[in-house]
Structure 1
Amino acid sequence: MNNNYYNPQNNQYYQQQNAQYIMMQRQIAYAKKQQRSELVKVGFVLGGAIILYLFLQVFWASMMNTLGLSDLYNNSTMFKYAFNIVAVDLLAMFPAFGIAALILKRNFTSEFFPAKKVGKLKATAWVFLGMGFTILANYFVSFMMTFVKNVLGYELTQNEFGTSNDLLTCIVMVAATVFAPAIFEEFAFRCCALGALKKYGKGFAVFMVSIIFGLVHGNVIQFVFAFLVGLILAYITVQTDNVIIAMVIHALNNGRSAVNDIVTTATDEKTANIVAVVIMIILGVLAVVSLVYLLITKSFKAEKKIKSLYDNNFATKLACMIPGLIVPFGILIALTKQYITKI
């Protein structure tokens, strides 16, 4: 008996399957297109936040000049640090990225301020691991600066605020370099920016928010360091769902520079260098111990997530973000020129 005969019911079934497949492909294409449009918008909003942040700094600096405070700023280290807290962190970064978060509030898929309980021991381990990574990033940037100087013949410099010669100046300096950045920068990047990007993939969000973190630092040296440190801060925030840990790492990392300045002022540069080396050795040992502990407790284990058919690939998502960041990159390059000196 021959079964290869025409069956209208079979033909109708295959037509329905084909129609469903075509419909699904259209839905996937539409969803991907929508995601690309969203990412272009996110790129321009976050790029706009960077531009607004830089503009507000210039605005408050001009206001200071208008009020006749420029001489005080140039002659007082304490006033420089105080101005940095108020004009840069409170009145520039906070509103710029706060507005961005409000514009992108529909993007947030979890708590705006992630503060999940991690446990004291595990949180401490994450802190020391993060500090170990910041030390590695610092060595990498130092190597980069040495290479540029010895091989390419250019010296890269950074802004210096001056020394803290009295107790009150030291207190203000610590507040400006340790606590204010840890609070306001983590609010801006690991709460506002990271929260708006996580819906597009945690790995993508960690990478992009680190680029944005680097762009606000104004020169290529700090961009590289901030990008590398931003990776570990964003990764830990995503992995633990707790931004407080990132704040502590940020504060301790900046605190190493503050300690170096204070010891240099109180004693001499040689003693400060010895103290810095001792601190780095201790932190390095604690970082290794913390890494072992976190590996044993399987703290790096990520949730297994099946890739969605409606999600664009990493390169496409990155390409969608780039247009909104072109101007901030241009500003970074323009600002970097004043920190490069031909030897």
Structure 2
Amino acid sequence: MLAANAIGGIIGDVLAKIISAKSHLELTDVYADTTFLALANIVSIYGIACPLCALVAKLSNVSKYVVKGTISKNQYIRAICIMFPVTVLLANFSNYLAALLSGGEAENSMINTLISGDNILSMIMVSVLAPIFEELIYRKLIIDRTRRYGELTAIIYSALAFGLFHCNIYQFFYAFALGLIFGYVYVRTGNILMTIVMHMIVNSSSAIMAPYLPVVYTYFIYVMIGLGIVSIIYTIIKKDVHLEKAPNEVPHKMLSGAAFKNSGSILFAIVCIYIMAYSLISSTLLG
């Protein structure tokens, strides 16, 4: 995260100056441009952070435990529907919390810019690149290496890392909740394509449908919230969500401390929370 932000920031600054010089634009105008924001994020996150994360995991030489299971079509469709009320509820909670902490001054300007315009590059980033890279890192890479210690801890750990990775108070809570849903589907199936599709559905609805078909998007969200609530109730009644014991699984009391209180996890959390706080304070001052 530190390398991605430092190197990505340097590269972004160089690109901004080149664009400014060639287009005769002010640097502030370049930094506010949707194409530049998308390009800077693609370079720092998917060009630097994700490959570095994969490299570290490869060098760690930790053994992988991959499940080859399945879930029913009914369960999969329910999981897709449940994403929407969870996302809407926690997104509204995040907006309320950010407003409370900033006295109503903060705003999620960068994310709003990326998903509210008609820029093709930002749509590709949000709808295609983010689901592919983030699922490969936070589900396949992490869960494959932690599931053998226990499915519950593996799901929570990957979801928490996924939420913190966004470094944004507006996205942390619903990203964490979505990470739990994606993580459960992955540990039950071992099929990363299923979670990539789920991720694409929820991202594309806001990045493509919202700006191009706002009326359709509004009705779509209402319908999905309704179906999601029904799916939650049906799942509670049916009780078909279950976690399996992994071979030689470490007892939960021993594992939770090892997983969440080690120096790497603590440092990652500190860095992400620092960036989260910095972005909130910056947007408050700008507001």
Q: Which range, TM-score by smaller chain?
A: 0.7 to 0.9
Amino acid at match of 1:261: P
2:47 is aligned to: 91
Q: Name the structure 1 match of 2:206.
A: 257
The aligned amino acid for 2:187 is: V
2:8 and 2:262 map into 1 onto residues whose CA distance is 28
Query: Which residues in structure 2 correspond to 1:146-225 (within 5 Å)?
Result: 146=96, 149=99, 153-158=103-108, 159=110, 160-161=112-113, 164-165=117-118, 169=119, 171-225=120-174
Q: CA deviation at 1:299?
A: 4.8
Deviations 1:191-226 (A, max 9, x none): 222223223322112112222112221222222222
- 2:267 alignment partner AA: G
Contact 1:154 1:342 (8 Å CA) reproduced = no
Q: CA deviation at 1:131?
A: 4.0
What do residues 42-85 of structure 1 show as CA deviations (whole Å, max 9, x unaligned)? Answer: xxxxxxxx33333342233134145x125584475345434543
1: CA distance, partners of 2:6 / 2:218:
38
TM-score scaled by length of structure 2: 0.77
Q: Are 1:140 and 2:101 an aligned pair?
A: no
1:247, distance to aligned residue in structure 2 (A): 0.8
Structure 2: distance between partners of 1:103 and 1:93: 15
Shift of 1:182: 0.6
Q: Offset at 1:245?
A: 1.6
SS of residue in 1 equivalent to 2:242: coil
Which residue number corresponds to residue 282 of structure 1? 223
Q: % of aligned pairs identical?
A: 19
CA contact (8 A) 2:260 2:266 kept: no
CA RMSD of aligned residues (A): 3.5
CA distance in 2, matches of 1:132, 1:284: 8
Deviation track 1:163-197 (CA, whole Å, cap 9, x = no partner) reads 545xxx3x433212101101011112112222232
Whether the 8 Å CA contact 1:53–1:92 is kept in 2: the answer is yes
1:288 Cα deviation from its structure 2 partner: 5.3
2:275 paired residue among 327, 331, 335: 331
Structure 1 residue 262: deviation in Å?
1.9
Residue 22 of structure 1: aligned partner: none
The CA deviation at 1:246 is 1.3
The answer as to whether partners of 1:239 and 1:300 remain within 8 angstroms in 2 is no
Distance 2:39 2:63 in 1: 35
AA aligned to 2:34 is T
- From the superposition, tell whether residues 106 and 226 of structure 1 become closer, same or farther in structure 2 (CA, over 3 Å): same
In the alignment, is the contact (CA less than 8 A) between 1:125 and 1:287 conserved in 2? Answer: no
1:108 pairs with one of 27, 41, 64: 64
In the comparison of the two structures, how many residue pairs are matched? 273
Between the aligned partners of 2:250 and 2:142, the Cα distance in structure 1 is: 23
Q: Provide the C-alpha distance between the structure 1 equivalents of 2:107 and 2:163, rounded to a whole number of angstroms.
A: 17
Matched, 1:55 2:6: yes
Task: Give distance in 2, aligned partners of 1:260 and 1:312.
Answer: 45
CA distance in 1, matches of 2:76, 2:95: 29
Match of 1:317 in 2: 259
CA distance in structure 1 between the partners assigned to 2:56 and 2:101 by the alignment: 41
Match of 2:244 in 1: 303
CA contact (8 A) 1:219 1:332 kept: yes
Mapped to 1, the partners of 2:16 and 2:98 lie a distance apart of 36
Which has the greater radius of gyration? 1
Unmatched 5+ residue regions in structure 1?
1-49, 264-271
Corresponding residue for residue 129 of structure 1: 79
1:197 is paired with a residue of what secondary structure? helix
Contact 2:83 2:178 (C-alpha < 8 Å) held by counterparts: yes
Which residue identity lines up with residue 323 of structure 1 in the other structure?
A: I
Among 11, 15, 23, the residue aligned to 1:64: 15
* Deviations 1:119-171, CA, capped at 9 Å, x for gaps: 7xx34742542342343232223134235536973343111436545xxx3x4
Q: Could you tell me which amino acid in structure 2 is paired with residue 132 of structure 1?
A: I
Gaps of 5+ in 2: none
Structure 2 vs 1, CA of residues 126 and 243 (structure 1 numbering), >3 Å: closer, same or farther? same
